[in-house]
């Protein structure tokens, strides 16, 4: 999820619990051999043994369409000691697809096989190589063929986003089509797409046949979702709506303060306010407090003003806790 689930948000979300592994934003590979510092800039967890500070492994993801160039870059990446290498065959962005990358590659299963095989040969045998795909570009008629091609090329694990590029992010996700893919491949398959709450996770598991799930926007919107799914916790028995958050606001607030501290220390000043507002824009779909905060900060671009706002929020939380 380029521009959203970067190393800062990975750090914060993995502190919430329930996450077994992260996949990085894609690292675009064109016709050049990227230096180690490029991989380390996008995946600074490589300086921490390949893990977030909460101890969760991170698998860097490469995006490109040239087998030889991807293989050369995968070899450099592998030398930095990541927890495997992932390949992106699912990005629906027009600029990526226009250059033959991401979901556009699902029109050419033979090229998928060549890419996967080249990367698998370039990466040391003990290091896993995985892939993420959608069901197709315009339709899902070749979904099984693409999955088989990736398996034949040496993929040891496959994440399937249960929509085509044409579907974009519009609901529903066709989880039952993941079951069709599971029926023809022998490697582990992970289900992805439109998982917003525990009920969605349960339904996805039933229809896809996959016990392992990948969370995207649902986790950004509800940072307690992964832990709730792992524990089988649902808000329904408490007569709460299915869109109720699984992490209380008073617990999330210190994580948000940590997030802002990381943003202030690691990102360019011009991008800082926007990064906080971006996350609040997701959170406000679950938290009324986040909606209020988003409205208060929507026109604020000065990080110093947000510094004061954040200090006030943390102080107010401390006062409420003391009063209780």
**Whether the bond into 257 is cis, omega within 30 of 0:** no
Q: How far is CA 27 from CA 119, 145, 318, in A?
A: 14, 26, 41
Residue for token digits 């590659």? 105
Asked if 102 and 78 sit in the same domain, the reply is yes
Beta bridge partners of 160: 133, 191
Rounded CA separation 153/1 (Å): 25
Please check the confidence at residue 196 and state whether its pLDDT lies above 60: yes
Task: Fill in the DSSP letter of residue 48.
Answer: G
Predicted TM-score of the model (pTM): 0.92
Query: Is 240 contained in some domain?
Result: no
Q: What is the percentage of the chain residues whose pLDDT exceeds 90? A: 86
Same domain for 231 and 254, yes or no, is no
Number of domains the chain is built from: 2
The residues carrying an active-site annotation are 91
Q: With cut-offs at 50, 70 and 90, classify the pLDDT of residue 150.
A: very high
> Is the backbone of residue 49 left (phi > 0), alpha (psi -120 to 50) or beta?
left
DSSP E strands, the chain: 22-28, 58-63, 85-89, 129-134, 157-161, 189-192, 213-214
- Are both 202 and 127 inside the same structural domain? yes
- For residues 72 and 119, give the distance between their C-alpha atoms in angstroms, rounded to a whole number: 8
**Are 266 and 8 contacting, i.e. CB atoms less than 8 angstroms apart?**
yes
Query: Do 98 and 152 fall within a single domain?
Result: yes
Residue 54 and residue 166 in one domain = yes
Please check the confidence at residue 92 and state whether its pLDDT lies above 80. yes
Cβ-in-10-Å burial (0-12, 13-18, 19+) of 64 comes to buried
Residue 136 structure tokens: 């197709």
**Same domain, residue pair 143 and 185:** yes
What is the secondary structure of 199-210 as a DSSP string? HHHHHHHHHH--
Predicted confidence (pLDDT) per residue in 208-255, tens digit: 999 999 999 999 999 999 999 998 866 554 445 567 788 999 999 999
1 within domain boundaries: no
* Whether the predicted pLDDT of 137 surpasses 50: yes
Give the chain's mean pLDDT: 93
Closest CA to 253 of 6, 68, 12, 34: 12
Interacting residues of 289 by C-beta distance below 8 A, sequence separation 6+: 249
What domain range is 282 assigned to?
249-323
């Amino acid at each position: 999820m380029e521009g959203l689930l970067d190393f800062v948000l990975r750090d914060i979300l993995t502190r919430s619990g329930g996450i077994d592994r992260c996949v990085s934003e894609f690292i675009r590979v064109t016709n050049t051999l990227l230096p180690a510092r490029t991989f380390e800039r996008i995946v600074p967890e490589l300086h921490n043994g390949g893990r977030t500070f909460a101890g969760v492994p991170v698998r860097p993801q490469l995006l490109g369409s040239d087998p030889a160039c991807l293989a050369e870059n995968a070899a450099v990446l592998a030398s930095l000691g990541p927890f495997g290498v992932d390949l992106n065959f699912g990005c629906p962005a027009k600029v990526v697809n226009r250059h033959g990358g991401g979901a556009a590659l699902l029109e050419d299963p033979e090229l998928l096989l060549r890419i996967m095989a080249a990367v698998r040969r370039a990466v040391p045998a003990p290091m896993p190589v995985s892939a993420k795909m959608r069901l197709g570009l315009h339709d899902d008629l070749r979904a099984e063929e693409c999955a088989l091609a990736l398996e034949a090329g040496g993929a040891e694990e496959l994440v399937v986003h249960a929509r085509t590029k044409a579907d974009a992010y519009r609901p529903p996700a066709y989880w039952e089509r993941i079951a069709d893919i599971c029926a023809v491949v022998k490697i582990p398959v992970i289900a992805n797409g439109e998982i917003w709450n525990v009920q969605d996770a349960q339904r996805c598991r039933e229809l896809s046949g996959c016990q392992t799930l990948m969370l995207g926007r649902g986790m950004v919107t509800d940072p307690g979702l992964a832990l709730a799914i792992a524990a089988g916790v649902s808000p329904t028995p408490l007569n709460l709506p299915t869109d109720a958050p699984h992490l209380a606001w008073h617990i999330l607030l210190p994580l948000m303060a940590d997030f802002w501290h990381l943003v202030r220390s690691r990102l360019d000043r011009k991008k800082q306010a926007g990064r906080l507002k971006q996350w609040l824009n997701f959170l406000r779909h679950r938290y009324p407090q986040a909606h209020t905060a988003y409205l208060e900060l929507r026109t604020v671009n000065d990080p110093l003003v947000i510094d004061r706002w954040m200090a006030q929020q943390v102080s107010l939380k401390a006062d409420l806790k003391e009063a209780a």
